[in-house]
Chain A
Amino acid sequence: DAKTTQPPSMDCAEGRAANLPCNHSTISGNEYVYWYRQIHSQGPQYIIHGLKNNETNEMASLIITEDRKSSTLILPHATLRDTAVYYCIVRFHRGSGNTGKLIFGQGTTLQVKP
């Protein structure tokens, strides 16, 4: 079972920030938070990941709460092309007996509207 909880769907107006929440209350100290998105029938696209600190890249920002039990993915200026299913995944990196497999939940379907 996935170790994260996400709302099944969200809407966002084009040009506005999209804030996608994720709960991971059972996260372990060495588990990372990863975000992927999947546009219809394509392979999942890596967006961003973090361990404790907030992270930002050219696609998005990741805000992780201090207790690490939840996080928010922020798309600063959503466009129609950002319409996709967004997956929040918590995982260990490989090593020390951990596997690399990703456990996907149902994700959040983000609909960006004009």
Chain B
Amino acid sequence: KAGVTQTPRYLIKTRGQQVTLSCSPISGHRSVSWYQQTPGQGLQFLFEYFSETQRNKGNFPGRFSGRQFSNSRSEMNVSTLELGDSALYLCASSWWTSGAENTDTQYFGPGTRLTVL
């Protein structure tokens, strides 16, 4: 079974631009979460989606947004990019569904490396 895929793998943008990152979960997984990893802050939770609904959001400004489609694929968008948004953006998917709390292991994709110049 294919793992979590993320596109693009590398991206270079300039300040003020916006960017959209894509995540395809493992087949059959309906829950998708996003994380940001920087050298200074480590791995931080951005948001999670299940059944096209955002279920939880981390402590990030409104410039960070996301969505999930009916096929469970997810996108995240960062508008008005700042230098500090340079990071590895990671997507994780899970088989979790309501009523099946023992199936909540999250599997990560390879990440998208975003560089803001």
Contacts and interface: CB of A to CB of B under 8 A. Distances in A.
Interface of A: 34, 36, 41-46, 49, 87, 93-96, 99-106
Contact of A101 (B48, B108, B110, B113): B48
A49 B55 CA distance: 23
A40 B90 CA distance: 14
B55 A44 contact: no
Given A41-B113, A100-B33, A100-B96, A49 B105 contact: yes
A88 to B, nearest CB: 13
Nearest to B94: A100
Nearest to B100: A95
Contact of A45 (B48, B58, B98, B108): B108
Contacts of A36: 108
Which DSSP category, helix, strand, loop or mixed, fits chain B's interface? strand
A93 B102 CA distance: 7
A36 B90 CA distance: 14
A111 B1 CA distance: 30
Interface in B92-116: 92, 94, 96, 98-99, 101-111, 113
B105 A101 contact: no
A101 B58 contact: yes
A43 B109 CA distance: 6
Choose among A43, A96, A99, A106 the residue with the greatest number of B CB atoms under 10 Å from its CB. Answer: A43
Interface residues of B, number: 31
A46 B88 contact: no
Interface of B: 4, 31, 33, 35, 42-45, 48, 55-56, 58, 88, 90, 92, 94, 96, 98-99, 101-111, 113
A42 B45 contact: no
Nearest to A105: B42
Nearest to B111: A43
A102 B109 CA distance: 15
A46 B35 CA distance: 15
Nearest to B3: A43
Contact of A100 (B43, B44, B55, B102): B55
